Structure 1
Amino acid sequence: MFIRRATPQEMNFIQSYAPIVQQEATLGYMNGTKLIMNEEMHYYYKAEYHALMDNYRVCGWILLGEAKTPPEYETIGMVLELYVLPPYRKKGYGQMLMEYAFDHFKKKGLKKVQLNVFAGNHAKHLYEQLGFRDVSTLMEKPLL
Protein backbone atom coordinates (compact mmCIF):
# COMPACT_ATOMS: atom_id res chain seq x y z
CA MET A 1 0.00 0.00 0.00
CA PHE A 2 1.18 3.49 -0.79
CA ILE A 3 -0.30 6.98 -0.94
CA ARG A 4 0.45 9.65 -3.53
CA ARG A 5 -1.16 12.57 -5.29
CA ALA A 6 -3.90 11.24 -7.56
CA THR A 7 -3.29 11.10 -11.31
CA PRO A 8 -5.88 12.50 -13.76
CA GLN A 9 -7.14 8.95 -14.44
CA GLU A 10 -7.49 8.30 -10.71
CA MET A 11 -9.24 11.66 -10.30
CA ASN A 12 -11.89 10.51 -12.80
CA PHE A 13 -12.41 7.36 -10.75
CA ILE A 14 -12.62 9.34 -7.50
CA GLN A 15 -15.07 11.86 -9.01
CA SER A 16 -17.32 8.99 -10.15
CA TYR A 17 -17.85 8.22 -6.45
CA ALA A 18 -18.85 11.80 -5.52
CA PRO A 19 -22.59 11.05 -5.03
CA ILE A 20 -21.82 7.97 -2.92
CA VAL A 21 -19.27 9.82 -0.79
CA GLN A 22 -21.69 12.70 -0.26
CA GLN A 23 -24.49 10.30 0.75
CA GLU A 24 -22.29 8.41 3.22
CA ALA A 25 -20.45 11.42 4.68
CA THR A 26 -23.59 13.50 5.25
CA LEU A 27 -25.79 10.52 6.19
CA GLY A 28 -28.24 11.62 3.50
CA TYR A 29 -28.53 15.13 4.91
CA MET A 30 -27.37 16.71 1.65
CA ASN A 31 -29.43 14.50 -0.71
CA GLY A 32 -30.79 16.41 -3.65
CA THR A 33 -28.26 19.23 -3.30
CA LYS A 34 -25.48 20.16 -5.64
CA LEU A 35 -22.29 18.27 -4.84
CA ILE A 36 -20.24 19.97 -2.14
CA MET A 37 -16.73 19.79 -3.60
CA ASN A 38 -17.03 21.61 -6.91
CA GLU A 39 -14.24 23.30 -8.88
CA GLU A 40 -14.75 26.59 -7.06
CA MET A 41 -14.25 24.88 -3.69
CA HIS A 42 -11.15 23.07 -4.97
CA TYR A 43 -9.70 26.43 -6.01
CA TYR A 44 -10.63 28.16 -2.73
CA TYR A 45 -8.97 25.50 -0.57
CA LYS A 46 -6.12 24.75 -3.02
CA ALA A 47 -7.41 21.20 -2.68
CA GLU A 48 -5.79 18.12 -4.08
CA TYR A 49 -6.69 14.44 -3.91
CA HIS A 50 -4.20 11.87 -2.67
CA ALA A 51 -4.96 8.23 -3.43
CA LEU A 52 -4.32 5.13 -1.34
CA MET A 53 -3.11 2.52 -3.80
CA ASP A 54 -2.97 -1.28 -3.65
CA ASN A 55 -1.18 -2.79 -6.65
CA TYR A 56 -2.04 0.36 -8.65
CA ARG A 57 -5.73 0.10 -7.74
CA VAL A 58 -7.36 2.97 -5.85
CA CYS A 59 -8.79 1.71 -2.58
CA GLY A 60 -9.29 5.06 -0.83
CA TRP A 61 -8.44 8.75 -0.94
CA ILE A 62 -8.15 11.93 1.01
CA LEU A 63 -8.79 15.48 -0.19
CA LEU A 64 -6.37 17.96 1.39
CA GLY A 65 -6.58 21.72 1.32
CA GLU A 66 -5.74 24.86 3.25
CA ALA A 67 -7.72 27.66 4.86
CA LYS A 68 -7.16 30.81 6.90
CA THR A 69 -8.82 30.82 10.31
CA PRO A 70 -9.58 33.69 12.64
CA PRO A 71 -8.61 35.23 14.95
CA GLU A 72 -4.94 35.02 13.88
CA TYR A 73 -5.73 34.22 10.23
CA GLU A 74 -3.09 31.54 10.24
CA THR A 75 -3.05 29.00 7.44
CA ILE A 76 -4.25 25.60 8.59
CA GLY A 77 -4.58 22.23 6.91
CA MET A 78 -8.06 21.05 5.97
CA VAL A 79 -9.16 17.46 5.47
CA LEU A 80 -12.04 18.03 3.08
CA GLU A 81 -12.83 14.42 2.27
CA LEU A 82 -11.75 10.98 3.47
CA TYR A 83 -13.07 7.85 1.82
CA VAL A 84 -12.12 4.19 1.87
CA LEU A 85 -13.89 1.84 -0.54
CA PRO A 86 -16.07 -0.74 1.28
CA PRO A 87 -13.87 -3.84 0.63
CA TYR A 88 -10.90 -2.06 2.27
CA ARG A 89 -12.65 -0.80 5.42
CA LYS A 90 -11.83 -1.86 8.99
CA LYS A 91 -8.18 -2.45 8.05
CA GLY A 92 -6.64 0.79 9.33
CA TYR A 93 -6.52 2.54 5.95
CA GLY A 94 -8.52 5.56 7.12
CA GLN A 95 -5.97 6.10 9.87
CA MET A 96 -3.15 5.60 7.36
CA LEU A 97 -4.64 8.32 5.13
CA MET A 98 -5.07 10.69 8.08
CA GLU A 99 -1.48 10.17 9.25
CA TYR A 100 -0.34 10.84 5.68
CA ALA A 101 -2.31 14.12 5.85
CA PHE A 102 -0.64 15.09 9.12
CA ASP A 103 2.81 14.51 7.60
CA HIS A 104 1.81 16.40 4.46
CA PHE A 105 0.72 19.45 6.45
CA LYS A 106 3.74 19.34 8.79
CA LYS A 107 6.09 19.37 5.78
CA LYS A 108 4.29 22.55 4.64
CA GLY A 109 4.96 24.11 8.04
CA LEU A 110 1.32 24.14 9.16
CA LYS A 111 0.56 23.80 12.85
CA LYS A 112 -3.14 22.78 12.84
CA VAL A 113 -5.53 20.64 10.86
CA GLN A 114 -9.31 20.84 10.86
CA LEU A 115 -12.19 18.93 9.32
CA ASN A 116 -15.98 18.93 9.41
CA VAL A 117 -17.96 15.82 10.24
CA PHE A 118 -21.71 15.28 10.36
CA ALA A 119 -23.30 13.99 13.58
CA GLY A 120 -23.64 10.23 13.37
CA ASN A 121 -20.80 9.72 10.89
CA HIS A 122 -18.81 6.70 12.10
CA ALA A 123 -15.53 8.36 11.05
CA LYS A 124 -15.91 10.75 13.99
CA HIS A 125 -14.60 8.00 16.29
CA LEU A 126 -11.43 7.73 14.19
CA TYR A 127 -10.96 11.49 14.27
CA GLU A 128 -11.34 11.56 18.06
CA GLN A 129 -8.83 8.70 18.42
CA LEU A 130 -6.40 10.75 16.34
CA GLY A 131 -6.73 13.72 18.71
CA PHE A 132 -9.40 15.87 17.06
CA ARG A 133 -11.77 17.65 19.40
CA ASP A 134 -14.99 19.58 18.89
CA VAL A 135 -14.45 23.34 18.54
CA SER A 136 -17.94 24.35 17.42
CA THR A 137 -21.35 22.85 16.86
CA LEU A 138 -23.72 23.76 14.05
CA MET A 139 -27.30 23.24 15.15
CA GLU A 140 -30.47 23.28 13.07
CA LYS A 141 -34.20 23.33 13.62
CA PRO A 142 -36.66 22.88 10.77
CA LEU A 143 -39.36 25.55 10.61
CA LEU A 144 -42.67 24.05 9.59
Structure 2
Amino acid sequence: MAGTRKSTYEGFTAEERAAMKDHAAEQKKAARRGSAAEKAAEAERDVLAKIAELEGSDRVLAERVHALVTAAAPVLAPKLWYGMPAYALDGKVVCFFQSAAKFKARYATLGFNDAARLDEGAMWPTAFALTEVTPEVEARITELVKRAVG
Protein backbone atom coordinates (compact mmCIF):
# COMPACT_ATOMS: atom_id res chain seq x y z
CA MET A 1 0.00 0.00 0.00
CA ALA A 2 1.28 3.40 -0.91
CA GLY A 3 1.78 5.77 1.99
CA THR A 4 1.73 3.17 4.77
CA ARG A 5 4.46 3.19 7.34
CA LYS A 6 5.95 0.13 8.89
CA SER A 7 5.51 0.23 12.64
CA THR A 8 8.78 0.26 14.56
CA TYR A 9 7.29 -0.22 18.02
CA GLU A 10 9.23 -2.94 19.80
CA GLY A 11 7.67 -2.73 23.25
CA PHE A 12 8.99 -1.16 26.40
CA THR A 13 12.70 -0.64 26.91
CA ALA A 14 14.52 -2.56 29.62
CA GLU A 15 14.65 0.66 31.66
CA GLU A 16 10.89 1.20 31.31
CA ARG A 17 10.16 -2.40 32.34
CA ALA A 18 12.45 -2.01 35.36
CA ALA A 19 10.66 1.21 36.37
CA MET A 20 7.28 -0.53 36.14
CA LYS A 21 8.57 -3.43 38.28
CA ASP A 22 9.89 -0.91 40.81
CA HIS A 23 6.47 0.75 40.95
CA ALA A 24 4.66 -2.56 41.45
CA ALA A 25 7.04 -3.50 44.27
CA GLU A 26 6.56 -0.06 45.89
CA GLN A 27 2.77 -0.50 45.80
CA LYS A 28 2.97 -3.97 47.38
CA LYS A 29 5.37 -2.78 50.07
CA ALA A 30 3.18 0.23 50.92
CA ALA A 31 0.13 -2.01 51.27
CA ARG A 32 1.95 -4.17 53.86
CA ARG A 33 3.05 -1.30 56.11
CA GLY A 34 1.47 -0.63 59.51
CA SER A 35 0.25 2.70 60.87
CA ALA A 36 0.38 5.96 58.92
CA ALA A 37 3.38 7.11 60.95
CA GLU A 38 5.19 3.83 60.31
CA LYS A 39 4.38 4.08 56.61
CA ALA A 40 5.73 7.63 56.41
CA ALA A 41 8.93 6.79 58.29
CA GLU A 42 9.60 3.70 56.18
CA ALA A 43 8.84 5.56 52.95
CA GLU A 44 11.35 8.26 53.86
CA ARG A 45 13.96 5.62 54.73
CA ASP A 46 13.33 4.03 51.32
CA VAL A 47 13.87 7.39 49.59
CA LEU A 48 17.09 8.06 51.50
CA ALA A 49 18.34 4.55 50.71
CA LYS A 50 17.56 5.03 47.01
CA ILE A 51 19.40 8.34 46.98
CA ALA A 52 22.40 6.68 48.66
CA GLU A 53 22.43 4.05 45.89
CA LEU A 54 22.73 6.68 43.16
CA GLU A 55 26.19 7.39 41.78
CA GLY A 56 28.16 10.55 41.18
CA SER A 57 26.31 13.70 40.20
CA ASP A 58 22.94 11.91 40.31
CA ARG A 59 23.41 11.31 44.05
CA VAL A 60 24.61 14.89 44.67
CA LEU A 61 21.62 16.32 42.78
CA ALA A 62 19.13 13.99 44.48
CA GLU A 63 20.49 14.86 47.93
CA ARG A 64 20.11 18.59 47.25
CA VAL A 65 16.65 18.20 45.73
CA HIS A 66 15.54 16.12 48.73
CA ALA A 67 16.85 18.72 51.18
CA LEU A 68 15.26 21.60 49.26
CA VAL A 69 11.87 19.93 48.79
CA THR A 70 11.55 18.77 52.39
CA ALA A 71 12.57 22.22 53.69
CA ALA A 72 10.33 24.18 51.30
CA ALA A 73 7.27 21.97 51.73
CA PRO A 74 7.36 19.82 54.87
CA VAL A 75 3.74 18.86 54.10
CA LEU A 76 5.01 16.71 51.21
CA ALA A 77 5.65 13.07 52.09
CA PRO A 78 8.76 11.47 50.57
CA LYS A 79 8.11 8.17 48.80
CA LEU A 80 9.53 6.09 45.99
CA TRP A 81 7.76 6.40 42.66
CA TYR A 82 8.87 4.18 39.79
CA GLY A 83 12.08 3.59 41.72
CA MET A 84 12.94 7.27 42.15
CA PRO A 85 12.49 9.83 44.96
CA ALA A 86 9.13 11.58 44.88
CA TYR A 87 7.13 13.83 47.16
CA ALA A 88 3.38 13.42 47.64
CA LEU A 89 0.49 15.37 49.10
CA ASP A 90 -2.47 13.29 50.27
CA GLY A 91 -1.03 10.28 48.45
CA LYS A 92 -0.67 12.07 45.08
CA VAL A 93 2.84 12.67 43.74
CA VAL A 94 3.43 16.39 43.35
CA CYS A 95 7.08 16.33 42.30
CA PHE A 96 9.81 13.79 41.64
CA PHE A 97 13.50 13.42 40.87
CA GLN A 98 14.66 11.18 38.05
CA SER A 99 18.35 10.39 37.79
CA ALA A 100 20.13 10.68 34.47
CA ALA A 101 21.18 7.04 34.78
CA LYS A 102 17.59 5.80 35.15
CA PHE A 103 16.88 6.08 31.42
CA LYS A 104 20.44 6.72 30.22
CA ALA A 105 19.68 10.42 29.73
CA ARG A 106 22.21 13.20 29.57
CA TYR A 107 20.63 15.03 32.52
CA ALA A 108 18.61 14.39 35.65
CA THR A 109 15.03 15.65 35.78
CA LEU A 110 12.98 17.47 38.38
CA GLY A 111 9.38 16.89 37.40
CA PHE A 112 5.96 17.97 38.59
CA ASN A 113 2.71 16.06 38.17
CA ASP A 114 -0.77 17.46 37.67
CA ALA A 115 -1.27 17.67 41.46
CA ALA A 116 1.28 20.52 41.41
CA ARG A 117 -0.29 23.95 41.25
CA LEU A 118 2.06 25.43 38.68
CA ASP A 119 -0.61 26.50 36.19
CA GLU A 120 0.44 29.53 34.18
CA GLY A 121 -2.05 30.43 31.48
CA ALA A 122 -2.63 27.91 28.71
CA MET A 123 0.85 26.27 28.86
CA TRP A 124 3.54 25.82 31.52
CA PRO A 125 6.62 23.64 32.12
CA THR A 126 6.28 20.52 34.26
CA ALA A 127 9.79 19.05 33.91
CA PHE A 128 13.18 20.65 34.29
CA ALA A 129 16.59 19.37 33.21
CA LEU A 130 18.96 19.41 36.15
CA THR A 131 22.74 19.29 35.74
CA GLU A 132 23.92 21.32 38.72
CA VAL A 133 22.40 22.87 41.83
CA THR A 134 23.69 26.42 42.01
CA PRO A 135 22.30 29.05 44.40
CA GLU A 136 20.04 30.24 41.56
CA VAL A 137 18.79 26.70 40.91
CA GLU A 138 18.18 26.20 44.64
CA ALA A 139 16.06 29.36 44.72
CA ARG A 140 14.10 28.25 41.63
CA ILE A 141 13.46 24.75 43.03
CA THR A 142 12.32 26.22 46.35
CA GLU A 143 9.98 28.66 44.60
CA LEU A 144 8.52 25.94 42.34
CA VAL A 145 7.94 23.52 45.22
CA LYS A 146 6.25 26.17 47.36
CA ARG A 147 4.03 27.14 44.43
CA ALA A 148 3.30 23.50 43.64
CA VAL A 149 1.75 22.88 47.07
CA GLY A 150 -0.15 26.17 46.99
Q: TM-score, normalised by structure 2?
A: 0.30
- Higher Rg: 2
The structure in which a higher percent of residues are helix is 2
The structure in which a higher percent of residues are strand is 1
